[in-house]
Amino acid sequence: MNLTTTSYAILGHLALQPWTMYDLAQQMRSNVHFFFSRAESQVYAEPKRLVGYGLASASRQMTGKRARTLYAITDAGRRELDRWLAGPDAAKGPDLEFEALLRVFLSPLGRPEHLVATLEQVRDNLSEMFEAADRVGGAYREGTAAFQHHVLTRSMVYDFLVSFAELADDWAARSAARARRWPDQSEAERLAEAMRIFSEKPDPARRRD
């Protein structure tokens, strides 16, 4: 029995309530997509493995002539999930893959306007995240969210995601602004701005250990 984090993600959702994989795929797309993204084909494949291990059960149902399969967690599944939630399989740190940052890193090899374009594109890409956050946030504010009773922890997830999107957006905005100023600045001015970043961050007061 070889479970991946994907397995636990699905198993965890099944612990909330039974789902068809169609509904669950949608649920995951709107809820965990931005920090745990998986292809739909994966979402459909996983519960079969869980059933094979006895961690989930499948029940075939009919809507007229159309078949649908409801998956639910079993007692064994709940125990396995508890084990995982209790650790001690250490959770890995945040794992970021950010192609635009690679482009910034390599941008001295290209033309300056491409750097600005990359940064603008970062901001465009983030709108999806802001919209998703708006939808989720709105539902909780209005008290109509499907898992309203999870509001304490969902607000933590929301907090992180919105903070992240704001950070990325702010960073892209100030970096693009910097790059646009370059043609009108002296090299000394450009350098001074760069060095200020290295000396202001991280806030020396923050350092622990």
Q: Which does 86 bind (CB under 5 to 8 A by kind): DNA, a copy of itself, none?
A: a copy of itself
71: buried, middle or exposed (CB in 10 Å: 19+, 13-18, 0-12)? buried
Rounded to a whole number of angstroms, the minimum distance from the CB of residue 130 to DNA is: 22
Assess 180 for contact with a copy of itself (CB under 8 A): no
Q: Is 191 in the site for a copy of itself (CB under 8 A)?
A: yes
Distance CA 158, CA 138 (A): 11
Backbone angles phi, psi at 91, to 5 degrees: -75, 140
Chain center to CA of 192: 35
| Strand partners of residue 63 | 66
| Token pair belonging to 197 | 């970043």
Q: Is 197 an interacting residue with respect to a copy of itself (CB under 8 A)? A: yes
Q: Which 56-95 residues touch a copy of itself, going by CB under 8 A? A: 81-82, 85-87, 90-95
Residue 66 binds DNA (CB under 7 A): yes
Exactly one of 1, 39, 188, 205 binds DNA (CB under 7 A); that residue is: 39
Closer CB to a copy of itself, 68 or 170, in the complex: 170
Distance CA(193)–CA(207), nearest Å, equals 23
Structure tokens at 15: 């612990």
Among 35, 52, 61, 68, binds a copy of itself (CB under 8 A): 35
Summarize as ranges the residues that interact with DNA (CB under 7 A): 2, 4-6, 20-23, 25-26, 37-42, 44-45, 63-69
